[in-house]
């Protein structure tokens, strides 16, 4: 019996009905994993690309079988798929019987070189009426190779889960549990591409805590860290479903606002500004701290680069302007642009 601890293991069989009928019952009638049968090369390739199986059985006598093995070997992103080639071609079986083990080794090596991970010989036996032939094979060998394939699939799934965990750790800020700057560098270009493809708006907010150094100098860095955590919790609880916050560095944060216009971004920023300034942060029964934040907003423009550097720059300039103007306020790029234009008009 095959013991399969992996979840969602799938087998794609590239073969005809007479081939399927000879497979062990543990494969044909299993509920442990899914089995799909295809006998067309183009359909098989399309299926593998769309939904890659974990294991592939290939009937060598079927048109396109060796091409499928060779193609699969060239797909570096699919290298984890375990391909088992079942040799049922009459000429190869005849040569094997005629020339012995040396010829068998040569043909096995050639098949493995073409892309198969395992090579199983099928025998042709005549029925009693000497008119029909049926395919037979060592079921124990088939099940043994299947077990190898299942182990490989399990290891691949474990590797994917491990990589997902490591990626999540690498893209998360350990103090605030928000996405970090590295995550923003990945996420922002994707958001820009989506916005331009779907012709929707995209805005962002850059904010930081006013006079945060004074908090650290007065109360210590542990209190400062706790203030950052409480601020992030308050922001997260008051963001919309399409808003994604990031810790940009130190006491500075970025919030991506999907499907949000410049005016809507300004409204979101003003609301967050009030939520922070209107209610002090209670760190303990004896310590309550009042903090404020300054915010800059900007909306994606046609001339912005695909990586989002110019968009971030405009928002950052607005944040600097908000701090220069007295802190605890919001400046957006339209306001900043109109002021620059007005100053240029006055000076001229």
Which residues are marked as active site? Answer: 251
Q: CA 284, 275, 268 angle in degrees (round to 5)?
A: 145
Report, in this order, helix, strand and coil percent for the chain, each rounded to 5.
50, 20, 30
Q: Is 269 buried (19+), middle (13-18) or exposed (0-12) by CB count in 10 A? A: buried
- Name the phi and psi angles at 26, rounded to 5: -60, -20
Three-point CA angle 82, 84, 87, nearest 5°: 165
| Cβ contacts of 295 within 8 Å, gap of 6 or more | 205, 206, 207, 269, 272, 273, 318, 319, 322, 329, 330, 331
Count Cβ neighbours within 10 Å for each residue of 136-164 and write b for 16 or more, e otherwise. ebeeeebbebbeebbebbbebbeeeeeee
Q: Torsion angle, CA of 185/321/178/235, rounded to 10 degrees?
A: -140
Residue whose entry in the numeric block shows the structure tokens 């193609």? 71
Angle between helices 309-324 and 333-347 (to 10 degrees): 70
In DSSP terms, 125 is beta-bridged to 134
Q: Would you call 24 exposed, middle or buried from its count of C-beta atoms within 10 A (0-12, 13-18, 19+)?
A: middle
């Amino acid at each position: 019996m095959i013991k399969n601890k992996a979840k969602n293991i799938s087998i794609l069989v590239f073969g005809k009905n007479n081939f399927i009928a000879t497979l062990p019952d543990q494969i044909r009638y299993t509920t442990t994993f899914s089995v799909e049968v295809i006998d067309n090369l183009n359909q098989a390739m399309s299926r593998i690309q769309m939904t890659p199986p974990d294991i592939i059985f290939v009937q060598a006598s079927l048109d396109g079988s060796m091409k499928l093995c060779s193609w699969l070997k060239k797909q570096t992103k699919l290298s984890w798929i375990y391909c088992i080639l079942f040799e049922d071609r009459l000429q190869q079986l005849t040569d094997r019987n005629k020339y012995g083990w040396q010829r068998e080794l040569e043909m096995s090596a050639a098949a493995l070189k073409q892309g198969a991970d395992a090579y199983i010989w099928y025998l042709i036996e005549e029925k009693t009426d000497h008119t029909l032939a049926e395919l037979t094979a060592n079921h124990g060998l088939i099940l043994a190779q299947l077990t190898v394939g299942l182990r490989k699939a399990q290891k691949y799934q474990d590797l994917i889960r491990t990589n997902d965990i490591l990626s999540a750790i690498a893209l998360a800020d350990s103090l605030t549990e928000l996405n970090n700057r590295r995550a923003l560098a990945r996420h922002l270009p994707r958001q820009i591409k989506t916005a331009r493809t779907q012709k929707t708006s995209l805005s962002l907010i850059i904010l930081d805590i006013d006079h945060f150094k004074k908090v650290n100098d007065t109360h210590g860095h542990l209190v400062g860290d706790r203030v950052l955590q409480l601020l992030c919790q308050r922001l997260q609880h008051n963001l919309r479903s399409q808003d994604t916050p990031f810790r940009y560095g130190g006491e500075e944060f970025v919030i991506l606002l999907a499907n949000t216009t410049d005016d809507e971004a300004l409204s979101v920023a003003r609301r967050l500004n009030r939520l922070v300034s209107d209610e002090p942060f209670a760190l303990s029964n004896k310590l309550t701290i009042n903090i404020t934040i300054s915010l800059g907003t900007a909306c994606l423009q046609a001339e912005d680069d695909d990586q989002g550097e110019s968009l971030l720059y405009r928002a950052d300039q607005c944040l600097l302007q908000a701090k220069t103007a007295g802190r605890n306020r919001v400046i957006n790029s339209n306001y900043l642009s109109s002021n620059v234009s007005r100053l240029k008009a006055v000076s001229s």
